[in-house]
Amino acid sequence: MGMDALALAGMAFFAGLVDAVVGGGGLIQIPALFTLLPEATPASLFGTNKFSSIFGTASAAWRYARRIEMPWRVALPAAAAALPCSYVGAMAVSLLSRELLRPLILLLLVVVALYTFLRPDFGSVDQERRQGRREMWLAAGCGALLGFYDGFFGPGAGSFMIFVFVRFFGVDFLRASSAAKVVNMATNFAALLYFAGHGQVLWRFAIVMALCNVAGAQCGSHLALRHGNAFVRRIFLGLATALIAKFGYDTLG
């Protein structure tokens, strides 16, 4: 195994660990892929990232589902709507400019981080809100928007999903993280269908990264389950801050 593959394997493990707790694995894997494989096309790097990520996300979702009560009544409609919209988002990569989204995403990240920081009790306790038909339609709408974003752009999608589940459906951070994994599985799968169908996956790197992503996801979900909501909230705020710094640099720099 070459040095590039070893470095990508290490990044995939770390990405899986972070992603299992609060999402945002793409923030680690995508820059690593672009740095270490500069000759590859952007589409093939995004496809490789999706292949690696889907296995880590699925393993984390399975572990969460075995240990805590999943909010299926909102997670499943969100995932069902996210799947086709993520495919459309992946198709739109070649048609639209991602740069147009950067200022809007930066603003949304600042709002999410400030809202979470200024409300110490936010997501600390499960509110047990009724999850009726209205909530299911709302979950589907949120899933559609976030699905398109994840297929088209990606970074921060998992964190936005967690915020949506806490803010609009009253679940705590740990259950929100578990529900976000279900939605993220759908978005990764849909985007991967597009990339793999167009031959845009670097398989010799993708398979090794997938194995390491699964190992990292198992470590991350173990830490989240062991340390609970306060731990997930701290990591969520840390990732949001990192995303704000990255998007701020890319947008203003």
**Number of structural domains, the chain?**
1
Write out the residue range of the structural domain in which residue 197 sits: 3-252
Distance CA 144, CA 150 (A): 10
Q: If you compute the radius of gyration of the chain from its CA atoms, what whole number of angstroms results?
A: 17
Which residues, 6 or more positions from 152, have their beta carbon under 8 angstroms from its beta carbon? 89, 90, 92, 93, 96, 98, 101
pLDDT computed for residue 128 by the predictor: 60
pLDDT computed for residue 27 by the predictor: 80
Residue of 192, 159, 193, 162 whose CA lies nearest to 74: 162
Distance CA 218, CA 169 (A): 26
pLDDT computed for residue 115 by the predictor: 86
pLDDT computed for residue 156 by the predictor: 77
Distance CA 107, CA 93 (A): 22
Tens-of-pLDDT digits for all 253 residues of the chain? 577 889 999 999 999 999 999 888 888 888 889 889 988 888 888 889 999 999 999 999 999 999 998 889 999 999 999 999 998 988 887 676 667 767 877 888 888 888 888 887 776 776 666 677 888 999 999 999 999 988 887 777 888 899 999 988 888 899 999 999 999 999 989 988 988 988 989 999 999 999 999 999 999 999 999 998 888 888 888 888 888 888 788 777 6
Task: Give the side-chain half-sphere CA count within 13 A for 155.
Answer: 21
Distance CA 196, CA 236 (A): 31
User: Is this structure's pTM higher than 0.75?
Assistant: yes
Task: Give the side-chain half-sphere CA count within 13 A for 58.
Answer: 12
pLDDT computed for residue 215 by the predictor: 97
